[in-house]
Amino acid sequence: MGNVSCHNRRVAAGGATGSEFRARTAALTLLWVATSVDREALLGTLESSLEGMPGPTVPSEDDVEYEEELDEYEREREAALAEHEPGVREPMQLTGKGEEMLFVTGALERWLQRCPQGPLELGLAGARAVMPMVLSWSATLTHALAQGPLTSAELEHALSSVLEPEPVERQLEAMVGSGQAEALYGSGRAPVYALTDWGREAVSPIVAAVRFEQRYPEADVLDPDVFDVEAAFQMALPLIEVPPAVRGTVRAGVLVPGEEELIAGATVQLEGGRIAASSPLLDRVPETWATGTPLEWCETVTDPAAAKLDLGGDVPLAQGLIEALHERLWPFGGDPAGPRRLRLR
């Protein structure tokens, strides 16, 4: 099964090959869906944010190219259907890549609709929420907060190999201002910062974007790494509920791409209808496990009927964990139109 990864709060940001910057998994896709800005410009935005240079917190009016229907893929489909003459020719169909992008768009729309400050739509209003979410994920600030509350000093220390203190503060303020993080005040201590439930729910569009990028890889996008995998589980697990009768421990393991075989994820204890405990430290010889590649995990949690994972031990227990993740974060399944139908109810 490979080596078991070690947990470390000091996490790395997007990387580079030679002089070419490569975006952290999911970041570039989500920025493109939110803004429709040129890909190269978005890569520059991500790179600038990691270098500590002030980047745009929202796109400018000139940069955002949204029309009323928001999504070029959906516009393509509607135009094709409008031109169809029954009995003469079959309607044009979207490519698989277009369908997959619709799923990412729908997942992001659903997340925006659930904003605790009021439902948001794609466009400028949505970009004001998406931009801090994506930049914080890219800089791994989200990864650090996924593990639990931290003071600003602890965050600065955790991210010292990635960001200078000023951009940490700037991105943290943007997350708090958008409702994705909150400051918790105790007696006489410095405030600690924590992800809100909505901030944790951002794992839904992130996983949708990872699924897209794994199915249609590009040279300027990194594969998920150990820290991405650990963060995704630690974001999602506190949100879920399971039937009270479901009890036991599951190792949720992801086979991380790379030259060295690694497995990362979470050891999850389910008890009393909730996650009693979770840790990124993995049992080497688990009694129950669910294991797969990043794509297999993304396909299975977004659509459990896909059943791509290797399950062992108490299989119903592992299936219960997967179903709980799905029902809480991807109830619309793998259908690209699903999130849009849910939004209109």
Q: Which of 204, 222, 240 delimits the end of a domain?
A: 222
Burial of 233 (0-12, 13-18, 19+ CB in 10 A): buried
What is the CB neighbour count within 10 angstroms for residue 44? 15
Residue 52, in any domain of the structure: yes
Structure tokens at 85: 């003459």
Structure confidence by residue, pLDDT tens digits, 255-272: 998 888 899 999 999 998
Residue 8, in any domain of the structure: no
Q: Per the structure, how many domains does the chain have?
A: 2
Structure confidence by residue, pLDDT tens digits, 270-328: 998 889 999 999 988 899 999 999 999 999 999 988 878 999 999 999 999 999 999 99
In this structure, are 217 and 234 located in the same domain? no
In this structure, are 123 and 212 located in the same domain? yes
DSSP code of residue 123: T
Q: Which residue has the tokens 């169909």?
A: 93
Residues in Cβ contact with 172 at an 8 Å cutoff, skipping those fewer than 6 apart:
136, 141, 152, 155, 181, 193
Q: For position 249, which CATH number holds? A: 3.30.1050.10
In this structure, are 246 and 279 located in the same domain? yes
Residue 6, in any domain of the structure: no
The per-residue b/e assignment along 266-300, b for 16 or more CB within 10 angstroms, e otherwise, is: bbbebeeebbeebbbebeeebebbbbbbbbbbbbb
In this structure, are 37 and 151 located in the same domain? yes
In this structure, are 250 and 208 located in the same domain? no
In this structure, are 56 and 105 located in the same domain? yes
In this structure, are 276 and 300 located in the same domain? yes
Query: What are 54-61's contacts with CB under 8 Å, separation 24+?
Result: 54/170, 55/135, 56/131, 57/128, 57/131, 57/132, 57/174, 58/124, 58/127, 58/128, 58/131, 59/34, 59/35, 59/124, 59/127, 59/131, 61/124
In this structure, are 123 and 213 located in the same domain? yes
Asked if the model's pLDDT at residue 27 lies above 90, the reply is: yes
Residues in Cβ contact with 157 at an 8 Å cutoff, skipping those fewer than 6 apart:
none
In this structure, are 103 and 145 located in the same domain? yes
pTM: 0.84
User: Which of the two residues, 57 and 302, has the higher pLDDT score?
Assistant: 302
Residue 297, in any domain of the structure: yes
CB of 199 closer than 8 Å to CB of 181: yes
Q: How confident is the model at residue 95 (pLDDT cuts 50, 70, 90)?
A: confident
Q: For position 130, which CATH number holds? A: 1.10.10.10
Residue 178, in any domain of the structure: yes
In this structure, are 285 and 145 located in the same domain? no
Q: Quote the distance between the C-alpha of residue 248 and its chain's center.
A: 26
Q: Which residue has the tokens 């490519």?
A: 95
In this structure, are 168 and 51 located in the same domain? yes
In this structure, are 232 and 252 located in the same domain? yes
Q: Measured between alpha carbons, how far is 33 from 71 in angstroms, rounded to an integer?
A: 8
Q: In which domain, by residue range, is 215 found?
A: 15-69+97-222
Q: Measured between alpha carbons, how far is 232 from 162 in angstroms, rounded to an integer?
A: 19
